[in-house]
Chains A and B, each alone.
Chain A
Amino acid sequence: MPTDAPVAPPTGTPAADNPSLPGPDRLDGEAESLWAAGLRVEALAVMADELAATPDDQPLRRLYAERLMTVHRYAEALQTVAPLGPQADALRGRAHYLLGEFAPAAPLLAATASGQGPTATLMLMDALEALGRGDEAVAVAEQAGERLGAEHPQLLAFRGRRAALAERPEDAADLFRQALAADPLQLEALYGLGQALLRTGARTEALEVLQRHRELVPLRDRYDFALRAVDLAPTRASNHAQLGDVLRSLGQHDEALERFAHAQTLATPDEVVAVTLRHARAILDVTEDVERCIALLDEVASTGSDPRLPVRAGDVLMRAGRLGEAVMRFEWAQRMRPEDVQIGARLTRALDALEAEVEAVRAHGKPLDPHGTPPGDHR
Chain B
Amino acid sequence: MPPSAATADAPWFTDVTAAAGLDFLHDSGLSPERHLPETMGAGAALIDVDGDDDLDLYLLQGGPFPPAPPGGKAPPTSPANALYLNDGSGRFSAAGAAAGAAAHTGYAMAVATGDVDGDGDTDLFVTNFGPDVLLLNDGAGRFTEATPPVLADPRWTSSAAFFDADNDGDLDLYVSAYVDIDVAAPTWCGDRRPGWRSYCHPDVYAGLPDRFYRNDGRGGFTEATAAAGLESPPGRPGKGLGVLPFDADADGDLDLYVANDSVENRLWINTGDGRFEDGTLISGTGTNARGLSEAGMGVAAGDVDGDGDLDLFVTNFDDESNTLYRNDGAGLFTDVTVSTGLEAPSRIPVGFGTVLADFDHDGDLDLAVTNGHIIDNVELYFDGKTHAQTSQLFSNDGLGRFTDVTARAGGLSARPLVGRGLYAGDLDGDGDLDLVVTQCGGPALLLRNDRAPPGTGIVVAGIPPGTRVVATTPDGTSRVREVTAAGSYYGAGPARLHLALPTTTTRFALQLATPGSPLLERVVPARGGPLHVLVPGDAGLTWR
Q: Report B-chain residues with C-beta under 8 Å of the C-beta of A189.
A: 291
> Which segment, of B80-88, B292-300, B529-537, faces chain A?
B292-300
Number of B residues, CB within 8 Å of A: 55
> Which segment, of A2-10, A24-32, A285-293, faces chain B?
A2-10
Q: Mark A1-38, 1 if CB is under 8 A from B, else 0.
A: 11111111111100000000000000000000000000
- A131–B290 CB distance below 8 A: no
Would A73 and B383 be within 8 Å (CB), given that A130-B344, A134-B339, A198-B332 are in contact? Answer: yes
B residues 250-277 near A (Cβ < 8 Å) are 261-264
- B347–A188 CB distance below 8 A: no
Q: Report B-chain residues with C-beta under 8 Å of the C-beta of A99.
A: 348, 384
Q: Report B-chain residues with C-beta under 8 Å of the C-beta of A260.
A: none
CB distance from B70 to the nearest CB of A (A): 23
Q: Mark B292-329, 1 if CB is under 8 A from A, else 0.
A: 11010100000000000000000001111100000000
CB distance from B337 to the nearest CB of A (A): 9
CB distance from B80 to the nearest CB of A (A): 26
- A161–B264 CB distance below 8 A: no
Would A4 and B384 be within 8 Å (CB), given that A130-B344, A165-B334, A217-B287 are in contact? Answer: no
B residues 336-392 near A (Cβ < 8 Å) are 336, 338-339, 341, 343-344, 347-348, 350, 374-375, 381-384
Q: Check A366 for interface membership: any CB of B closer than 8 A.
A: no
Q: Check B190 for interface membership: any CB of A closer than 8 A.
A: yes
- B381–A6 CB distance below 8 A: yes
Which of B200, B202, B289, B341 is A132 in contact with, Cβ under 8 Å?
A: B341
Q: Check A187 for interface membership: any CB of B closer than 8 A.
A: yes
Would A11 and B383 be within 8 Å (CB), given that A1-B241, A1-B261, A102-B344 are in contact? Answer: no
Main DSSP-derived SS at the B contact region: loop
A102 CA / B321 CA spacing, docked (Å)? 13
Which of B199, B290, B320, B384 is A188 in contact with, Cβ under 8 Å?
A: B290
A207 CA / B280 CA spacing, docked (Å)? 11
A residues 27-55 near B (Cβ < 8 Å) are 41
- B319–A10 CB distance below 8 A: yes
CB-CB nearest in chain A for B203: A225
Q: Report B-chain residues with C-beta under 8 Å of the C-beta of A168.
A: none
Q: Check A76 for interface membership: any CB of B closer than 8 A.
A: yes
Q: Report A-chain residues with C-beta under 8 Å of the C-beta of B227.
A: none
CB distance from B242 to the nearest CB of A (A): 11
Main DSSP-derived SS at the A contact region: helix
A199 CA / B329 CA spacing, docked (Å)? 11
CB distance from B76 to the nearest CB of A (A): 30
Q: Check B128 for interface membership: any CB of A closer than 8 A.
A: no
Q: Report B-chain residues with C-beta under 8 Å of the C-beta of A221.
A: 203, 262-263, 293
- A4–B348 CB distance below 8 A: no
Q: Report A-chain residues with C-beta under 8 Å of the C-beta of B282.
A: 198, 206-207, 210
- A165–B382 CB distance below 8 A: no
A57 CA / B475 CA spacing, docked (Å)? 71
- B281–A187 CB distance below 8 A: no
- B190–A4 CB distance below 8 A: yes
- A187–B319 CB distance below 8 A: no
Q: Check A75 for interface membership: any CB of B closer than 8 A.
A: yes
CB distance from A68 to the nearest CB of B (A): 8
Would A132 and B339 be within 8 Å (CB), given that A190-B291, A221-B293 are in contact? Answer: yes
Q: Check A98 for interface membership: any CB of B closer than 8 A.
A: yes
Q: Report A-chain residues with C-beta under 8 Å of the C-beta of B191.
A: 232-233
- B199–A4 CB distance below 8 A: yes
CB-CB nearest in chain A for B347: A100
Q: Check A211 for interface membership: any CB of B closer than 8 A.
A: yes
- B374–A1 CB distance below 8 A: yes
Q: Mark B182-203, 1 if CB is under 8 A from A, else 0.
A: 0000000111010000111111
CB-based closest 9 A-B pairs: A191-B291, A4-B189, A100-B348, A187-B291, A130-B344, A1-B295, A210-B281, A99-B384, A225-B203
